[in-house]
Structure 1
Amino acid sequence: MERHYGMDWLRIGAFALLILYHVGMVFVPWDFHVKTAAPADWVAIPMLFTNAWRLMLLFLVSGFASRMLLAKSKGLSGFLRNRNARLLIPLAFGMAVIVPPQSWVELAGKHDYAHDYWWFWTRDYFRFGALDGIVLPTWNHLWFVVYLWVYTLALGVLLLFPIRLRRLFDRVFGGVGALWVPLVYLMLFQVLLFRRGVETHDLIGDGVAHLAYFPAFLFGFGLAGSRVTMLAFARWWKPAAVLGLAGYVAVAGVEAMWPGRALPLAWIKDGFAVAREVQTWASIAALIGLAELYLNRDHPWRATLTEAVFPFYIIHQTVIVLGEYALLPLRLPAVAEFAILVAATVAGCWLFYLTARRIGWLRPLAGLRPR
């Protein structure tokens, strides 16, 4: 299959926004492993610009990339072997080595855990139980890798059945249906039948999230083989962008009027839920259209950034948590703290990636292809 550089750039941008979003989690009152000394309610307003659609976009572009990988693999078995190695090895390494500092910082900062990190890692982390309500060991932000692996296995099962749906996919999504059909689906399953709440990221008890992310993954897989649908997104990106911005304005307006944990009236909650789903799919549709129209071209940096995004994802949250834990005693102004944390996170991610790509045994642990 012909490579679509625009979707590569979209994947790179989605992961970059995710890293910046997780830096923002330090400064917003929402729950996170470590917080700045004085989280501010207003930070939620810019955070909500990507909150609704960032993860669904990641699963969609992952499904798109999966079809490209399948086309280059030696059959379905080769594709699944590749995916198992590229996802499970860094997941195991991440849970054993990368994630533990996050749990230690959370215990030390929020629960007055008295022991040093070495004691925690050797005595408490692998307890396979809870410590002050924190389950150990854990995967924290690597839940995305777990879900992606499970969705890939489910895709493999579906591909065992010789059902050709390309014409149906083109017919349903090849026009304005690319915009409204997924939106109707989200309204039905995320608002009417089930109320989208806080995601658990525990795989088993996260059913409503699966109803959003697994179809997005499958949609991305189908999109990789449908030029007519890509052209539909290019044609309808402007109305989609208007809808997405309107959804964001509504969501941000509710947050501005009822900040933090303040609970608005029931009809306002319903309007917030509808606006959030409109913002979700309309924003994704507009971004895909822009990727098709303006980003489908190569650049010398593209290959490096495409390779770097997964190692960046693996390490970034640990860098953020440790960085903020080190900055807290300095009591810096919030602007300076944010700027230092962003710079430290970018530097830490690049250091991890550049080190891993040069060391043969570290490559698969960081999610890179073996030499």
Structure 2
Amino acid sequence: MDKMRHYGMDWLRIGAFALLILYHIGMYFVPWGWHVKIAQPMDWVQIPMMATNSWRLPLLFLVSGYASAALFAKLGAPGAFLRSRAARLLIPLAFGMVVVIPVQPWIELVTQHGYAGSFLHFWMHDYFRFGTLEGIVLPTWQHLWFVVYLFAYTLLAALLLVLVPERARAWNAGAAARLLGGWGMLLVPLAAWMAILFAFPGYRETHALFDDGPNHLHYLVPFVTGWLLRVRPVLFAAVARCWPAAAVLAVAAYGYVAWAIGAAPGEGPPPVGVVTWFMAIRLVQGWAAIVALVGIADRFWNRDQRWRATLAEAVFPFYIIHQTIIVLVGYGLLLAGARALPSFAVLLAATVIGCWLFYLIGRRIGWLRPLIGLQRQ
């Protein structure tokens, strides 16, 4: 048994990716813009979607920061750490962009922009244009933007590990741990998020890496917090102190968010430069939920189970393929004119089955393993 392994963080990562897949199924039904939509989107779907909207991605960056720190502790050298992360992230990213993702922008162009070419024509003549088509940048990384950002943060971490002496790193980690001790775990990262919100009011996420500065700051807060949880495990005591209050705060904040969405379901985003109560309370909901979930994982889930290793290995292949399955099946359901409830059942079943097949088949083929995010045997 690995005494340093925190099984609760493994379960948290598994659960976060499962929620992400369910969230993307919901994108087929909600009125927000996406690659393929049901013929008549439903306003009320926004309310359950907003239950996770503010924390699902920051939670993934937090558990990724924890896993990155664990990997560095295992490898012991910045160069080995960076090479390992590059192989695990950039190879699947390239495979995804060339093979897995192209059908998504094709379906979006066909259903929303009247594109008349076949998928083969699109892939051979339009996808690799390194420009835009109907406002869509091609080629694209679509949902794999998370992998791009995670590698960028890994690169930044490796650079700091090279430039900052070990003694200085230890001092900085200790100072940060003192800052986050006690109720600081709840208050300090939330204050950082609020500062970012007011410094860049009304900023829009682009997921385009180079023009997404405020979004990087937003995600670096949980990434660094996750890293600190690994290098200073005493911080789990701080989480244990405040997670019950954080859970209550998260539920209360979500109550306001749900009420606001229900009261004005069709209201669009405010003008750029405007900060609203909704934005601020959504951040409270997000960070409070993350602290509560880390606390629950530490208190109740820090134990191994026979399916844990398989599920932990499967989440990255699931992540790579899931959105393409949802968009493809959603396109078929749209053409068939399927109603909402059968569409949801079909999308859920098809996505679960498709993800498992992608993983179980890919893991058995040696040359395919690194392409879908698995280690070589």
TM-score (norm 1): 0.96
Identity of aligned residues (%): 57
Residue 258 of structure 2 corresponds to which residue in structure 1?
A: 252
Q: Secondary structure at the match of 2:127?
A: helix
Larger deviation, residues 123-132 vs 311-320: 123-132
User: Contact 1:258–1:264 (CA<8 Å) still a contact in 2?
Assistant: no
Which letter does structure 2 place at the counterpart of 1:21? Y
1:232 to 231, 235, 238: 238
Q: Residues 1-371 of structure 1 correspond to what in structure 2 (within 5 A)? A: 2-160=4-162, 161-162=164-165, 163=168, 164=170, 165-190=172-197, 192-262=198-268, 270-371=276-377
Q: Deviations over 1:161-183 (max 9, x none)?
A: 11222321321112111111111
The Cα shift of 1:235 comes to: 2.1
Structure 1 245/54 Cα, relative in aligned 2: closer, same or farther at 3 Å? same
Q: Secondary structure at the match of 1:296?
A: coil
Q: How many angstroms does 1:332 deviate by? A: 2.1
8 Å Cα contact 1:64-1:224 kept in structure 2: yes
| TM-aligned CA deviation for residue 249 of structure 1 | 1.0
Helix, strand or coil: the match of 1:175? coil
Q: Distance in 1 between matches of 2:271 and 2:37?
A: 29
Q: In the aligned structure 1, how far is the partner of 2:288 from the partner of 2:298?
A: 15
Q: Bigger CA drift: 297-306 or 181-190?
A: 181-190
The separation in 2 between residues aligned to 1:303 and 1:74, in whole angstroms, is 23
CA deviation vs aligned residue, 1:34-55 (integer Å, no higher than 9, x gap): 0001100110000000000111
- Give the length in aligned residue pairs: 369
* Structure-2 separation of matches of 1:263 and 1:352: 37
- Matching residue's letter, 1:179: L
1:355 to partner: Cα distance: 1.0
Deviation at 1:272, TM superposition (A): 0.5
Contact 2:9 2:297 in 1 (8 A): yes
Quick one: structure 1 residues 256 and 265, their matched pair in 2 at CA, closer, same or farther if it must change by over 3 Å? farther
How many Å separate the matches in 2 of 1:48 and 1:341? 20
What SS does the corresponding residue of 1:135 show, helix, strand or coil? Answer: strand
- Matched-pair contact (CA < 8 Å) for 2:192–2:221: no
SS of corresponding position for 1:130:
strand
TM-superposed deviation, 1:265: 11
Deviations 1:204-232 (A, max 9, x none): 11111111112221111111122221121
TM-score by length of 2: 0.95
Task: Write the letter of the residue equivalent to 1:167.
Answer: G
- Would the aligned equivalents of 1:89 and 1:367 in 2 still touch at CA under 8 Å? yes
**Deviations, residues 95-127 of structure 1 (Å, cap 9, x unaligned):** 001110001101111111111111111111111
CA RMSD of aligned residues (A): 1.6
| Secondary structure, aligned partner of 1:37 | coil
Shift, 1:81, TM fit: 0.5
Amino acid at match of 1:156: A
